[in-house]
Structure 1
Amino acid sequence: MIAAIILAGGRASRLGGADKAAIDVDGRPLIDAAYAAVSGASPVIAVGPPSIARSGVIVVQEDPPFGGPVAGVATAITALADTDSPAETWLLACDLPRAELIVAQLRDVPIPEDADGVILTDQTGREQWLAGRYRLSSLRSALDALPEVAGVSMRRLLAVMSIHTIADRVGATLDLDTWDDVEQYRDQEDPV
C-alpha cells in the first residue's frame, strides 16, 4: 500500500484568490482529479481548507497557514505519523487535472535502491516535484534537516535527496495556475 499527500493550500494569488481546488474542470472540482488518481492509496492526507474534505480523506491545514508547499508536506508527514503509514507516498498538487495520467506513468516504476523518489519531468525537461512518489523516510529526513519549513521551496527540501526522473510523454504534468491556464485547458478539452 502507498499513502498519498495532496497539497491544496495556498492563497492562489495567480487566480485572484479563488479556491483553486474547487474550480470546475472536466465537470468536477479540480481536487477530485487528484483524489481519483490516488483512489487506491491509504491513507490519503490532503492539506488545505475544510472544503476539500471527502470520504476517506484526512484533511489538515499547513502549519503555519499559507506557509507554502514544504509546510504542507511537513504537516502531512506529521499526520501520517498518527497512522499505520506505508513506506512510500504519492505527492501531488491539487492543480493537476491529468493527475490520473501522472500516477499511471509512475505506478509501475520502482524507486531505485539508490534514490529517494521518482517524479515526472514536463515536456521542457523541468522537474515536477509535486508529480511523483517518495520514500516517506527520505521526506522525513529532509524535513528534519531544515531549520524551518515556512516559506521553504520544494527545490530546497529535495536538494538533499536523490530523485529519479521519468519524462512525461503525455502532458500529464500540465498544471492550472492562472485563469488563462484554466480557460485554455477547458477549450482544448471541450469537444469541437
Structure 2
Amino acid sequence: MGAVWEPWAAIILAGGRASRLGGVDKAGIELGGRTLLTWALDGVVDAREVVVVGEPVPTERPVTFTRENPRYGGPVAGLLTGLDALASVPRYVGVVGVDMPHVHHGTWRRLLAAAAGTDGAMLVGPDGRWQLALALDTARLQEVRPDHEQQHDHPLRRLLAPLALTPVPAEDREHQDIDTWADLRDA
C-alpha cells in the first residue's frame, strides 16, 4: 500500500436521530470521560480541515459545523453537506460516524494508503460488513453524487456502488460503533 502524503479533510457525521438511544445526541455521549465527538476529532488529528455535520458545540480543535437540509437526511445527505462545507476540497476526504470511537489516526493512515490511486477505501469489520469509516476520492464522489432533491434518505450503499472501494480490515475494535446503550456499556 502506498502512502497518501497530500492533505486530506475529514467529515464527521453527527446529525442522526439516534433512535435506538432514545434520541439522545450521540456526539455528547461520554465514553471514558470524553465525548464521542472528542474521540472522533482525536481520530482525524492529521486532517487539515474538519467538518462536523451536527449541532455546534464547543471543541478544542477548530472545526466547521453544518447541518443537512432538511435535517435528518441520512448519511448521504450528511456526507454531501459536509463536502460542500469544506473551505477547499482535497483529493481525499475521510468520512466517519461520530459513534465510532475506536477509529484513530492509524486507521486513517491505513484507509488513506489503501485509497491511493483508487476511488477510495472502506473499513470492514471481522464479519465482512463495511463500516462508516471511509476514505473517498472527492472527484469520483462528485461524479456519482445525486441531485440535491435525491440526497435525503438516499442509501449510502447506492451512492458508493459505482465506486471501486478497497476493503481495509478492521484491527482490534475499530469496527465497533455505538448504536445502543448496550454498545456503550461494552465499549
What TM-score, normalized to structure 2? 0.89
Question: 1:44 is paired with a residue of what secondary structure?
Answer: strand
Match of 1:65 among 63, 68, 71: 71
Q: Does 1:123 align with 2:100?
A: no
Which residue in the other structure is 1:178 paired with? 180
**1:102–1:173 Cα contact (<8 Å) kept:** no
Identity of aligned residues (%): 36
**What is the DSSP-based 3-state SS (H/G/I as helix, E as strand, rest coil) of the residue aligned with 1:99?**
coil
Aligned to 1:161: 163
CA offsets, 1:127-185, max 9 Å, x none? 12x21211111111221468610011111110111111011132211000001110122
Consecutive unaligned residues in structure 1, runs of 5 or more: 186-192
- Name the structure 1 match of 2:49: 43
Which residue number in structure 1 is paired with residue 40 of structure 2? 34
2:89 paired with 1:85: yes
Cα RMSD over matched residues?
1.8
* Residues paired across the two proteins, number: 180
- What is the CA distance between 1:103 and its match in structure 2? 2.1
CA distance in 2, matches of 1:64, 1:117: 27
Selected match of 2:111 from 106, 117, 135: 106
Q: Which AA in structure 1 matches 2:88? A: D
Query: Which amino acid in structure 2 is aligned with residue 138 of structure 1?
Result: R
Provide, for residues 41-83 of structure 1, a one-character-per-residue CA deviation record: whole Å limited to 9, x for no partner: 1211110112365531000001210111111011111112xx2
Q: What is the aligned partner in structure 2 of residue 11 from structure 1?
A: 17
